[in-house]
Every structure is written in C-alpha cells, then in structure tokens.
Amino acid sequence: MAKTVVHEALNSLVKDLRLTHGDNLASVVLYGSAAAGDHVELRSDYNLLITLHRITPEDLRLAQAPMREWRRLGHPIPVYFTAEELSDAADVFPIEFHQMANARTVLYGQDPFEFVHLSDINLRHQTEYELRSKLIQLRRLYIPASISSEKLCDLMSDSLASFASLFRAVLILHGDPAPVSKPDTVRATVKQFGLDAEPFEKIFAFRTRDFVPPSEKDANDIFAAYMEQIDRVIQAVDEFDQGKI
C-alpha cells in the first residue's frame, strides 16, 4: 500500500511539474535508495533531481504548488539544476553526482547524466570531509541516545544509511567497483579493508526489524564496535595517495 501511494504521488508530481514548467522542464529523475532497490519504507527518502533549461526565482516560486502535496507526504524538496550546471558542477559534487549517476530512474525527459563527465579530482578531499563530519555528528547524537536502546538503534540505522553512501566513494577511490545497494556497498567495504562485519550486519537487521538488541548494554556495545569500524575507514581514506587519484 505504501509503495502504491508513493508511486501515485510521483506520477501526480511529474504531471504537475510538466504543467507548471512546460517546455522549461528538461527531466525529472528519482535517485538514491528508491532507485537502487534498497529503500526501507518509512525510513528512507524519495530523492528527486529536477532539471530545467533555465532557473529563475519565478521558476522556483511556481514550483511551490506542485511541491505542496509531495512535502505533505514527508518527502524532501527536490534538487534543482540546469543541464549546464550539471556539467559545470561535476567536479564540485563528486560524491553526490556518483550517487545520482549510479542509482537513478528517469521519470520524465532525457537522462541528464547521459552527457555529464564525472570528475574525481576532488573526490578524496570531499570523502574524508564528509566522513569526519558525520562521525563528529554521530558522537554528538550518541550522548542523548545512549540511555535508550530504541533511540540508539534508530541512530545507528539512520547514520549507516549515510555512511554507506560515502563508502561508495571510498571504494571508487580505491579503484574498486561500487555496488548500488547500501548493504552490498558496506559488505564490499568490509571485505576490502578487513573490517569487522558484525556491527554493520546487526544494524542492517535493525533497519528491517529482524533483530533488536536484548539490552541497553548490548546496544551500546554494538555502537562502540560500529564507531570503531567507521574510524578505520576514515584512517584508510586519510592514507590514500592523492597522486594516484
């Protein structure tokens, strides 16, 4: 039922966008977990990239009406680019563009990544920056969550989705194929860097409600092991030879 509601909402949004933007609308693309097939209902976002031929404040203001129902359903506001900007910004947002390019479904128009050249020149710097930033945030959020097994499980589940996306960039930096799904990406990273797979597998089980830590102490122990593995990935990225990228 949930998938049907979202598909109807997507179809309705695309229809409204076509009416709103007319010939200015170049494409509508679904990307991320939903496009990759590892979307978790009620936990993962439906991310959209909207490409226009031109973007003015008036064009964005017109988008308010089509977005009203989409936002009411709890989905994030889409990312807006022009086709020219996608090409120009490929070296500035390497992680995001790799994510979009590797897991996308074109809902309307021409595939905007068909002629975009993905640049990895800034990939190592952005990857380390994002990993360290998310680790710092994870430590902050752990403080209030540490006294509740449920809150701690939610924190680990939500954060692993973000780290898994960054692990794709880590694999690309290492010259390895980057899987599309988050579990496959994490498992490939675990294998490549000799990490402990157990905390990751338990967290994926949280996300599908197949496993719940029996006690608050168990949840905290899993978190400690999880944070240690994240730190090992960051250290590996820090040691990458930039000259080889």
d(CA 229, CA 195) in angstroms, rounded, equals: 6
Instruction: List 104's β-bridge partners, or say none.
Output: 31
Nearest to 169 by CA among 198, 128, 135: 128
Instruction: Tell me the sheet residues that pair with 30.
Output: 48, 105
Q: What is the pTM of this model?
A: 0.74
Reading the chain (245 residues) residue by residue, the pLDDT tens digits are 345 677 888 999 999 999 999 999 999 999 887 776 665 554 457 889 999 999 999 999 999 999 988 888 888 999 999 988 988 888 888 888 888 888 889 999 999 988 888 778 889 999 999 999 999 999 999 999 999 999 999 999 999 989 998 999 999 999 888 888 889 999 999 999 999 999 999 999 987 777 889 899 999 999 999 999 999 999 999 988 654 44
Fold of 2-109: Beta Polymerase; domain 2 (3.30.460)
Write out the E strands in the chain.
Answer: 25-31, 47-52, 79-82, 104-109
